[in-house]
Structure 1
Amino acid sequence: MKVLITGAAGQLGVELVQHCIEMGDDVVAADRSDVDITDAAAVDAFLAQHLPDAVINAAAYTAVDACETNVDIAQAVNGTAVGIVSAACEKFGAHLVHVSTDYVFDGTLDRPYLETDETNPQSVYGRTKLAGEIAAGSAASIARTSWVCGEYGDNMVKLILRLAAGDTPLAFVDDQRGHPSFTADLAPALRTLALERRAGTFHLTNGGAVSWFEFVGDILEAAGHQRGRVSPIATADLDPPRPAPRPANSVLDNAAWKAAGKEPLRDFRAPLTELVARLT
């Protein structure tokens, strides 16, 4: 297929571009310098020029805390722009795959979140990402993911590897739980949604629910360090506190993906081991 990938210079976008090329797709990789997705005329002209079969929208304003003060930018990129891209996809016959987030939930459930559970975002980032889901429309594939890590861009794995090289004390929260998700596994799943033009909402994460404290221990262990170098801390004890509230429970049940007959993404420890090996 011919696929347009927005946010192509980002952590997930680079991995998507590489995977789609490896699979033989005709790939149009677009970042902000190629097309401003908040500009409807520019988006229309870009799709008219390239006529993709599918658009995978990996563009987002993901600075969660900065969103609290940059509300207009967050809404423009995470919300309004998705409606613009969706309208252009409908006009030119492309299937839209839009990447969303666990932050659309409030994190208060005592079980993993299903795709059908009620949304209730508590942060500007979460509210604008939910606005994007709504703007994407019923014909699109909405792919919610969480705790994304990969070879490109900044993420928790790279941070811990840098900190582990020194003697900085490590303390991470043990009262926020989720599924780490690795771009090496996420990218192929997103391509499948694009190729099969599967409308609906899908949770796409690697398997294995952990706290941030536990995840950091896993990263340390994968890199040959002692797990004991990290200590647990409560979210309420963070100093200074984070501007944006985080969902305590970010665990997403990938029920719709499994119901579609798809193989669940691997336990996160497998791609974690592979990533650490590439980075060290």
Structure 2
Amino acid sequence: MNVIAITNMKGGVTKTTTATSLAKGLVDKGYKVLIVDADPQANCTDIVAKIGNELNEKFLKEFDDECIKNEQDFLVKLNDSLYKGYDIETNLRDVFKYPKEIKKFIKKSDVENLDYIPSALSLAETKIKVMLKLDEDNKHILNEAFSYIQDDYDYVIVDNAPDDSIILTNVINVSDLIIVPIKADKGSLKGFIVTMNKIMKLQQDALRMNASVDFDMKILMTMVNNNKNDNTVFEIFKKYFGNNVLNTKIRYRAKPANESSMNNNYLIDSKLNLGYELKKLVDEVEEYFK
């Protein structure tokens, strides 16, 4: 079982798009895949579990003056409309509480051979509660949990929140490959620095404890514009990180990305060049594990 973590300490760099596209692309190639949502915002869960209504004409017609009199009415209506039928009662939080029972918290998606462990806002409480158990080894809870599904999946893809936490530490410690999506802007590159510091610290901690360091790291350029600035950033990273930079570049296309997010679709299924590039990413990741 190959575990891939998608992380960057900066939001808005297509972590969820990368995670869900990799998962769907690997399933399309015949692999059995588990996608784990480790972000309390649960955007990955929305896509894989098909939670909420699509942003279509029927959805928009539900907003009218008869039922909405003020801002509070609007917020209540928006929540009820988006999450009508929401029935997920367990999430990754429960895996941290009961790692031996991980199989109870795995759900099946509507895509054959694609299962998922959902997230929810309550997951944010987990990092606090786990950190309070200072007398326990709480950095390897997912290692224990994943040992019980080792033979059930070919790949596990983990979508992470853009922050440092004990949850991310667990994810990195159980990963074989960490993919860091970056784009050519200041915020993303600052997030990359923080992410790299986190990875190197965990490597140093493992070495001090004479433990094995098994994970590798790859950089993925995303939201790329075909201009001199973005191309130069890519070449600089290739120069200094070499083979740790994936050859695939994911271009910037706002409209299909927004439509995919709002309508809970997999962007890799797009008929545009963006979908083709994401399929190339899947090919490159598959080749890495051969």
TM-score tier (shorter) = 0.3 to 0.5
Which of structures 1 and 2 has the larger relative contact order (alpha carbons within 8 angstroms, sep 6+)? 2
Per residue, is there more helix in 1 or in 2? Answer: 2
For the pair shown, the structure with the greater C-alpha radius of gyration is 2
TM-score between the two structures when normalised by the length of structure 1: 0.36
